[in-house]
Amino acid sequence: MQAKPVTLKVLDIVSIVLLGVSAYLALVFAPTELVMGDVQRVFYFHIGTAWTALLGFILAAVFSIVYLIKKDLKWDRLQVAAIEVSLVFFFITIVLGSIWARPAWNTWWTWDPRLTTAAVTELIYIAYFMLRQGIDDPDRRARFGAVYALVGGISAPITFFAIRLFRTIHPVVIGGSNAEAEGSFAMTADMRVAFFFALFAFTVLFIDLFWNRIRLGDLQEKVEQLKLKVTM
Amino acid sequence: MANNVNQATEKPMTADRGLRSSAKSQPKGNFFKAVSAVVWKDLQAEFRSRELFSAMLVFSLLIILIFNFALELDIKTRQSVTAGVLWATFAFAGTLGLNRSMAIEKDRGCLDGLLLAPVDRSAIYFGKVISNLVFMLIVEIIVLPIYSVLYNINLFQPGLLLVILLGSIGYVAVGTLLAAMSVQTRTRDILLPILLFPVVIPVLLAAVKASEGFLTGADFPEILLPINLLIAYDIIFTAVAFMVFDNVVEE
Amino acid sequence: MITVKKLVKRFGLKTVLRGVDFEVQPGEFVALLGPNGAGKTTFLRILASLSRPSLGEVSVAGYRLPHQAAAVRARLGVVSHLPLLYGDLNAEENLRFYARMYNISNMEARITEVLEMVGLESRRRDLVRTFSRGMQQRLAIGRAVLHDPDVMLFDEPYTGLDQDASSMLDEVLKTVAVQGRTVVMTSHDLARAEDLATRFDILSRGVIAASTNRKQLKKSNLLTFYKQALVG
C-alpha cells in the first residue's frame, strides 16, 4: 500500500493555509463595498469556486477526448475526478450566489446566465453519474461517460451564450466589474488583491483536491485487482 | 408444435446451390443504401403497428391539456406562452419516440444484426436519426392544427414551420445518440430524459425565442439570431454524434 | 479460414479468455463446447467482429480483426439464439432489409430462393411476430446465408426449441447452412453437436482445454471426452 506522497501532504497543508489567508483578505482586509455592504465579500469565494469548477469542467472535456482516442482507463479515472471536484465546486458556487443574492437583491435566485449555466452543468454532471451507475462493464462505463461528458462539455457553453443572448428579462447580475451587470461594482486596489489571491488560493485547492481524488481512484482500482486475485 | 410439423411437410428443403455466386455481399457504395434501408425498415414497421406514433400523439395532446389546466391562460397571455407550451410538449413526447425506436433494436438482438452488416456504423446512426425525425415531424404536424383550433391561434406560418424543423433536427441528433446509450444501461427508459434535457436546452431556448418571434411578428434580424444558433447547434452536434457513435455501439 | 493466436479478452479487471489458440481449416465444422461462463459466447462474438480482442491476433476468411472488420462481415453469417428479426415486418421484408444492408445484387430472386430453401415460401407475407420460435430460427438461418458467406457462426441455435423444431433445424442446417462452408457452433447439446460436427473443441476456464475429431472419437464417447477435458 502506497503512503501518501510527501508532496501531496505538503500541498494539503499549503491549501489550507492559503484558504485561511484568502479568507482573511476577503473578510477583513478588503474594504466594505459601498452599495451592497459586507455581503459582497461572498463574491471573492464565489469567484474562487466558480473558477475551480470551470477548470474541472474544461479538464473533463479534454479527458473525454483523450480517452476516446487512447482508450486507456487512466484517463477515465482522471475524468471522474475532475467532474466530481467540479460538481462540488459548482454547487458551492450556486449556494454562495444565492447567499449573495438574498440581501443584495432580495431574492434567493437570479436567472443570471452564469448561475443558470452552473445549475445546468450541475444537472449534466448528475446525469453523468447516473449514467455510469447503470453500467457494469468498466470499459463501456468509461466510453459512455466520455461521450456524455463531451456532449455536455460542448452544450453547456452554448447554453451560456444562448441565455446571455436571448433572455433579456434576466440580465447578467453577478457582475464583478462588468459594466452591464446590475450588481456591478468598481474594484479598488485592495479589493483586487483579495480577488486575485482568492483565485490563486482556489486554484491550489483545486489541484490538491483533484490530486487526492485521483489517488483515491487509483487505490480503488488496486483494491478491485486484489479482490479479484483473492477470489480466484 | 403441430403448426411446425405441418410446415415441415409442406415444402422440401432445397440445398443452397442456385444463386450463390451472385449473392455475394458488395460492401462498396453501400452507405446510402444502408441508411435508406434502416429508414425504410423503421417506417414500414411503424406503419404496421402504429404503436409509437399513437403513443407520441396521445401523449402530446394530454400534455397540452395539462398545460391548459395548469396555466390559466387569458387570450393575451396565451400569445406569449404558446411557443413555450409547444416546445415543452415536443420535448417530452420526443423522448417516447427515441426510447422506443432504440428499444426495438435492443430487445430482439436486432442491434447485433445491424452491427453485423458490412457497413459503417454511422449509417445506423443516420438511418435512426432520419426515421426518428420523421416520426417527430409527423406528430408535430398533427399537433399544430389541433393547438391552433383549441386556442384560436394560426400556427401555420412558414417561419414557425422552419423553426420546428431546425429544432427537431437538433433534438433528434443528440437524442438518438443518447438513446443508444441509455437503452444499454440498467435504468433504460428513465435515464434518457435525464441525460437529454440538460444538454438540449440551447435548442429549446433558441426554438422558443424564434417561434415567439414569428408568432408575434418581430423584426427579422431579431429572429435570425436564434435561428442561426439552431443551425449551428444542429451542425455541431450531428458532427460530434457521427464521430463518437462507434464508441456507443461497439464493444 | 479462421486463425486465432493467444486471444485474450478482458472486461475491466475480469479476464474471460486467457490466451486462446484456435485454427479452423476451410470446410471444417467445429463444435465449441464448454460449461457456462467458459467464454464461448464471448469468443464467438469476437469472431463475429461484434467485440474487440484485448490482446492477440484474430483473422477470419483471410482478413484481420478488428482492423478489417467490414471485409470479415461481408463473408460471415451469424445465427444466434436470438432471431435478429423484426416482428412487425413480414418474412420477405425482413430478408429484403438485410439484403439491402449487405448490398446483394439480384435481390428479389435471392430472397425467394432463400425462402424456399428454409421452407417458408408460403409464409413470406406473414408477420414474423406470428411465427413460432422454430420458424423464426429457420428464417434466421435464411437471413444468415442471404449473402452467401464463407464462414458461419452458430451461437446456441437450438435454445428454446422442442424436439420437432430441433429436428427441423437440423435439416435446415445441414442442407442450407453447412454446404461446404466453414462452421463454428457453440452448443450445450452434446448429442446434436456430435451429430453435426467434424471436430470438437472444449473451452474451459478461458482456454481451449482439449480438441478431438470424428475419427479419433468413438461413437457416444463425446460425453466421456468432455467430462475428462473439464477435469484436466
Q: Tell me which residues of chain A have a C-beta less than 8 Å from any C-beta of chain C.
A: 137-139, 224-225, 228
Whether C95 has a pLDDT exceeding 90, the answer reads yes
Q: What is the pLDDT of residue C175?
A: 81
Residues in chain A: 232
Q: Which of C88, C129, C135 is the best substitution to test chain B (most B C-beta atoms within 10 A)?
A: C88
Cα torsion angle, A20, A24, A30, A31, sign: positive
Contacts with B49 from chain C: Cβ below 8 Å: 88
pLDDT tens digit sequence for A172-198: 555 544 444 445 556 677 777 888 888
Residue with cell string 447439446: C189
Q: Which residue of B has its CA nearest to C128?
A: B45
Whether C120 has a pLDDT exceeding 60, the answer reads yes
Reported ipTM:
0.86
**End-to-end Cα distance, chain B:** 38
Nearest CA to C145 out of C136, C153, C133, C156 is that of: C153
Q: What is the pLDDT of residue C13?
A: 78
Residue type, C112: T
Q: CA dihedral in degrees (B130, B132, B137, B140; nearest 10)?
A: -170
Is the peptide bond between C66 and the residue preceding it cis, with omega within 30 degrees of 0? yes
Residue with cell string 464448454: C34
Query: Which H/E stretch holds residue B205?
Result: helix B201-216
Helix (H, G, I), strand (E, B) or coil at B72: coil
Q: For chain B, which residues make up each domain, given as ranges?
A: 34-249
Residues in chain B: 251
pLDDT tens digit sequence for B198-234: 999 999 999 999 998 888 877 888 888 899 999 999 9
Domains of chain C: 2-231 (3.40.50.300)
Q: What is the pLDDT of residue B73?
A: 66
Q: Do B240 and A151 touch (CB under 8 A)?
A: yes
Query: Residues of C numbered 6-65 whose beta carbons fall under 8 angstroms of chain B's beta carbons: which are they?
Result: 45, 48-52
Alpha-carbon distance A165 to A167, whole Å? 6
Q: Tell me which residues of chain B have a C-beta less than 8 Å from any C-beta of chain A.
A: 174, 177-178, 181-182, 184-188, 191, 194-195, 197-202, 205-206, 209, 225-226, 229, 232-233, 236-237, 240-241, 244, 247-248, 251
To the nearest whole Å, the CA of B55 is away from the closest chain C CA by 17
Total domains in the fold of chain A: 1
Query: Residues of C numbered 105-144 whose beta carbons fall under 8 angstroms of chain B's beta carbons: which are they?
Result: 105-106, 109-110, 113, 116-123, 127, 132, 134-135, 143
Whether C194 has a pLDDT exceeding 50, the answer reads yes
Whether B79 has a pLDDT exceeding 80, the answer reads no
Contact B184, B106 (CB under 8 A): yes
Contacts with C183 from chain B: Cβ below 8 Å: none
Q: Which domain holds residue A106?
A: 6-29+37-231
Beta-carbon contacts of C197 under 8 Å, excluding residues fewer than 6 positions away, are: C29, C30, C31, C183, C185, C214
pLDDT tens digit sequence for A31-43: 777 666 777 777 8
* Residue A1, in any domain of the structure: no
Q: What is the pLDDT of residue A170?
A: 54
Query: What does R_g of chain C's alpha carbons equal in angstroms?
Result: 18
Contact A206, A56 (CB under 8 A): yes
Contact B144, B156 (CB under 8 A): yes
Residues B134-157 have a mean pLDDT of 87
Better-scored residue on pLDDT, B11 or C7: C7
pLDDT tens digit sequence for C102-119: 988 888 999 999 998 888
pLDDT tens digit sequence for B229-250: 999 999 999 999 999 998 998 8
* Residue A117, in any domain of the structure: yes
- Pick from C48, C117, C127: which is nearest to B13 by CB? C117
Helix (H, G, I), strand (E, B) or coil at A37: strand
Q: Do A130 and B178 touch (CB under 8 A)?
A: no
Q: Do A139 and C14 touch (CB under 8 A)?
A: no
pLDDT tens digit sequence for B30-43: 889 899 999 999 99
Whether A46 has a pLDDT exceeding 90, the answer reads no
Give yes or no for C163 touching B (CB within 8 A): no
Better-scored residue on pLDDT, B222 or A90: A90
Cα torsion angle, B70, B74, B76, B78, sign: positive
Contact C196, C174 (CB under 8 A): yes
Distances (CA, A) of B71 to B64, B82, C207: 10, 11, 66
- Reduce the secondary structure of chain C to three states and give it as a string: CEEEEEEEEEECCEEEEEEEEEEECCCCEEEEECCCCCCHHHHHHHHCCCCCCCEEEEEECCEEECCCHHHHHHCEEEECCCCCCCCCCEHHHHHHHHHHHCCCCCHHHHHHHHHHHCCCHHHCCCEHHHCCHHHHHHHHHHHHHCCCCCEEEEECCCCCCCHHHHHHHHHHHHHHHHCCCEEEEECCCHHHHHHHCCEEEEEECCEEEEEEECCCCCCCCHHHHHHHHHHC
Could you count the other beta carbons within 10 Å of the beta carbon of residue C72?
A: 26
